[in-house]
Chain A
Amino acid sequence: MKQFGLFKFGDHAYAVPMIGLQRVVNTPALYELPRTGVWYPRVLIDEGEVVPLFDLARWLQNITASAVGQYVVIYNSEFGRIGLPADLTCGIVSESSGGVIPVDEDEDLVGHQHVFAYNGDRYSILDVDVMIHSMHCG
């Protein structure tokens, strides 16, 4: 049974598949390092590893969010672990408790082809692997 972790960040709500979600860290120490690229302006240390915090606000383009949230969602992608910022954690739910529907054309972004409709909210389902691949390929 597929499950999603649900989060809110600025005026945006997003979902990530539970299969890649490792943990959620509350207010971790964040650092800036050189040569990390525009998509990873800050990093955190988690389990002895420096994990980049993805600039989700930049990627979503027009949300009203700061670069970082209160929480960092640690996600294990096929390229390694990254962090996603979140202001609120909204729980873990099974796919069958809501509906997966295609995004409208004007919402279309790389790594975001469907939304998860749940309890009256629309959570963008992030394909983190596709997002990272597109960042690295320019």
Chain B
Amino acid sequence: MTEGLLIFRQGEVHFSLAVEKVFEVIDDYCQHLVTDEPPEGASGLMNWHQDVVPLYSPQSIYELPGNANDKTVLVVGTTGPVAALIVSSAEGIYPLSAFQPVALSPVLRETTQPVYDRLLEKDGTLYIPFNLEHMAQVYRWS
């Protein structure tokens, strides 16, 4: 599978992220937590192989309700440093061809940009393409 999307859920909202940006999915990050002071905007730090990586939640950027029970993390990165995203659950990997692109009415783009300006649909569920680059800029992890 050359082009695939990992889909995950944060609360009731579904997201997609290119699989090449996801290095690992960890079901329970708590056992990897370290107690050092995290960088600004991060929820904590965790050990990942030989590295210590910051933990971030998408909640504030996407204006989502908090959920203290979320324990799954996606270890992610683009060209910059690696970080871990706290999510409710990772739900699978599908080829890009399984999704239909859906545009947003310009009325909505006023409030959704720059976080997202298009969606994907699969089997009656809408997925927001997760904007990792925007999040990295906001939290200055790249």
Residues on A lying within 8 angstroms of B by beta carbon are 29, 31-37, 40, 43, 45, 48-52, 77, 79-82, 132, 136
* A34 contacts B64, C-beta separation under 8 Å: yes
Q: 8 tightest CB-CB pairs across the interface, nearest first?
A: A80-B106, A80-B107, A80-B105, A34-B62, A37-B111, A49-B103, A35-B112, A81-B105
Q: Which of B21-29, B74-82, B119-127 contacts A (4 or more CB under 8 A)?
A: B119-127
B116: which A residues are within 8 A, CB to CB?
35
* A40 contacts B108, C-beta separation under 8 Å: yes
Within 8 A of A (CB), among B43-75: 62-64
B111: which A residues are within 8 A, CB to CB?
35-37, 40
Within 8 A of A (CB), among B1-48: 12-13
Within 8 A of A (CB), among B93-113: 100-112
**In the complex, what distance in Å separates the CA atom of A18 from the CA atom of B29?**
56
12 interchain pairs, CB-CB under 8 A: A32-B12, A33-B128, A34-B13, A37-B111, A40-B111, A45-B126, A48-B103, A49-B102, A49-B103, A51-B105, A52-B105, A79-B107
Task: Knowing A29-B124, A34-B62, A45-B121, say if A52 contacts B107 (CB, 8 Å).
Answer: yes
Query: Nearest Cβ in chain B — how far from A46, in angstroms?
Result: 9
**In the complex, what distance in Å separates the CA atom of A60 from the CA atom of B120?**
33
B101: which A residues are within 8 A, CB to CB?
48
Task: Knowing A32-B12, A33-B126, A34-B13, say if A45 contacts B108 (CB, 8 Å).
Answer: no
* A35 contacts B63, C-beta separation under 8 Å: yes
B136: Cβ under 8 A from any A Cβ: no
Which residue on A lies nearest to B110, using beta carbons? A136
A34: which B residues are within 8 A, CB to CB?
13, 62-64, 128
**In the complex, what distance in Å separates the CA atom of A61 from the CA atom of B61?**
30
B135: Cβ under 8 A from any A Cβ: no
In the complex, which of the residues B62, B102, B106, B107 contacts A35, with contact meaning CB atoms closer than 8 Å?
A: B62
* B126 contacts A81, C-beta separation under 8 Å: no
Which residue on A lies nearest to B115, using beta carbons? A35
B63: which A residues are within 8 A, CB to CB?
34-35
Query: Nearest Cβ in chain A — how far from B88, in angstroms?
Result: 14
A50: which B residues are within 8 A, CB to CB?
102-105, 108, 119, 126
**Other A-B pairs beyond A45-B102, A50-B103, A50-B104, 6, CB < 8 Å:** A32-B12, A33-B119, A35-B112, A48-B100, A49-B104, A82-B105
B126: which A residues are within 8 A, CB to CB?
31, 33, 45, 50
